[in-house]
Amino acid sequence: MKMWSGRFRQPLDADFERWQRSFDFDRRLLREELAASRAHASALKNAGVLSSTELIAIRQGLTQIGEKAASPAFLDDNDAEDVHHFVEKQLVALIGDTGYKLHSGRSRNEQIATDLRLYVRASIDQVRADLGNWLSISIDRAEQAGSAAMPAYTHLQRAEPVLVAHWLLAYVEMFLRDAERLADCRKRLNLSPLGSGAVAGATLPLDRRAMADDLGFDAPTANSIDATSDRDFVLEFVGALSLLAVHLSRWAEEMILFSSQEFGFIRLPEAYSTGSSAMPQKMNPDLLELTRGKAARIIGDATALLVTVKGLALAYNKDLQETQQPLFDATGTVLSLLPLASGWMKAVEFNHERMQQAAESGFMNAWAGATYLVRRGVPFRLAHEIVGKAVQTCIERNCELADLPLEELRQLNPAFDQDFYSSLTLQAVLNIHDVPGGTAPARVRQAIADARRKVESMREDVHAHA
Ligand code: ARG
């Protein structure tokens, strides 16, 4: 039986009927739908609409539906309009007409809003758990890199040497922010729409606080019109996922670049690469390329969601059904990707020798050289000019700054002395970046410890929600 056929004189056009259904995709909300229905049933009992026996029958029926759903064939239902209709049908099939009592005083508009909040909440916990693994592995790699150095780039030109660990920790910070954004979204969404009815509130005196408690929500939502039409939390979540995907994409792009023969900083893990059907010598960074590519898809999902909601008058409109697939797609894409990216990160080999060589050439000690003069009282702008001239000489002679004789340097400025040379070594250059957040080795050791603590407290937080 349909949920709404009474006022209709004609059957629906068959193609339209099939086309407007959502069960094909909203079946994945079954667990959430059953949980929300259980909370509603208890509220109906307390409002005097269900007897104890009816409540027990409904609860048992809902449990059974959950159990049956373990076999996929159970969900092959060509007649169910959506997950809400499906549960009602199955419940009636199991316990008889008492099953129809479950829909007393509620609307699918509040149900879908509730199911989606529960789904996004669980998805956030899952993504944060996966991010925790990814972060731990990245920090391990930073720790393993020890004192190894590499060039840092600005404008993709060699700029200054940094520790490999410092470079990896840059990504750690980005993903920590992503995890935090998700936690923030979780806080805001954790309110219960149950009892909001179709738009104006439930038509029965339901205890909204009790329903919220049953489902682990912090409180009931404040306004029934908003609660039934709000999808901010979906937009926020997929927005956070698209930023996460952009971070993953930047990471992937840099790893692709560094794995090219031109850089040679990275040896691709074979387990996550593929070959060419034509060129026998090839090994391609497919995991990274697909990671970069999938960011486009997630951004597309976020865009689709924003555009779907942007012109909607309050409150529920069927357009909102269109928010489900982008949500599921973005969630599934990120959840399938993160463990693979973690596996890649664990398996990749860094060519420290090559990185170190690159870190020691290309005048990346020029700023440190100018800083040497600054410490001897030379105004920085002049020091910059002087070292710039020295670099120019080196370019002409194809040598490094440390190869210039002291007399020649003194002609540029008398402040140069013998200890200038020791200020140019890789170690000295790393060491002078001795500020919090800088690449001096002691600072990086501290940063590794700080990052570990942040990941640990995030893991504890995720654990507390599990
Ligand atoms: N399948 C619908 C959706 O996802 C459920 C809500 C239907 N409400 C309605 N008034 N037709 O949006």
Atom 4 of ligand 1 has which residue's CA nearest to it?
A: 321
Report the C-alpha gap between 230 and 316 in whole angstroms. Answer: 8
Look at residue 1 in the predicted model and tell me its pLDDT: 82
pTM beyond 0.85, yes or no: yes
Report the C-alpha gap between 264 and 267 in whole angstroms. Answer: 7
CATH topology of domain 109-357+447-465: Fumarase C; Chain A, domain 2 (1.20.200)
How far apart are the CA of 264 and the centre of ligand 1, in A?
A: 54
How far apart are the CA of 75 and the centre of ligand 1, in A?
A: 19
Atom 2 of ligand 1 has which residue's CA nearest to it?
A: 321
List all residues whose CB is within 6 A of at least one atom of ligand 1.
22, 26, 82, 108-109, 112, 316, 318, 320-321
Parts of the chain with a pLDDT under 70? none
Q: Which of 146, 180, 162, 169 is nearest to 451 (CA)?
A: 169
Q: Give the atom of ligand 1 at the shortest distance from the alpha carbon of 82.
A: 1
Domain boundaries in the chain? 5-104, 109-357+447-465, 366-424
* Spatial contact of 161 and 368, defined as CB atoms under 8 Å apart: no
Look at residue 166 in the predicted model and tell me its pLDDT: 98
Q: Give the atom of ligand 1 at the shortest distance from the alpha carbon of 320.
A: 12
When the candidates are 3.40.50.970, 1.20.1300.10, 3.10.20.30, 1.10.40.30, the CATH number that belongs to 366-424 is: 1.10.40.30
In the set 276, 336, 422, 457, the catalytic residue is: 276
Atom 12 of ligand 1 has which residue's CA nearest to it?
A: 321
Q: For residue range 227-239, what is the model confidence (pLDDT) as tens digits? A: 999 999 999 999 9
Atom 11 of ligand 1 has which residue's CA nearest to it?
A: 318
Q: Give the atom of ligand 1 at the shortest distance from the alpha carbon of 81.
A: 1
Mutate which of 321, 323, 328 to test ligand 1's pocket (most atoms within 8 Å of Cβ)?
A: 321
Mutate which of 103, 308, 318 to test ligand 1's pocket (most atoms within 8 Å of Cβ)?
A: 318
Mutate which of 112, 118, 327 to test ligand 1's pocket (most atoms within 8 Å of Cβ)?
A: 112
| CB count in 10 Å sphere of residue 25 | 16
DSSP labels for 111-139?
A: HHHHHHHHHHHHHHHHHHHHHHHHHHHHH
Q: Is 276 a catalytic residue?
A: yes
**For residue 315, is the peptide bond before it cis, meaning its omega torsion is within 30 degrees of 0?**
yes
Is the fold of 109-357+447-465 the same as that of 366-424? Answer: no
Q: Is 196 a catalytic residue?
A: no
Inter-CA distances, 446 with 141, 432, 437, 441, Å:
15, 16, 9, 9
Q: For residue range 407-444, what is the model confidence (pLDDT) as tens digits? A: 999 999 999 999 999 999 999 999 999 999 999 999 99
Element (H, E) at 266: strand 266-267
How far apart are the CA of 334 and the centre of ligand 1, in A?
A: 26
Element (H, E) at 426: helix 426-432
* Spatial contact of 256 and 292, defined as CB atoms under 8 Å apart: yes
Look at residue 6 in the predicted model and tell me its pLDDT: 83
In the set 5, 52, 71, 155, the catalytic residue is: 155
Architecture category of domain 5-104 in CATH = Orthogonal Bundle (1.10)
Look at residue 4 in the predicted model and tell me its pLDDT: 83
Q: How many CA atoms lie within 13 A of 427 on its CB side?
A: 3
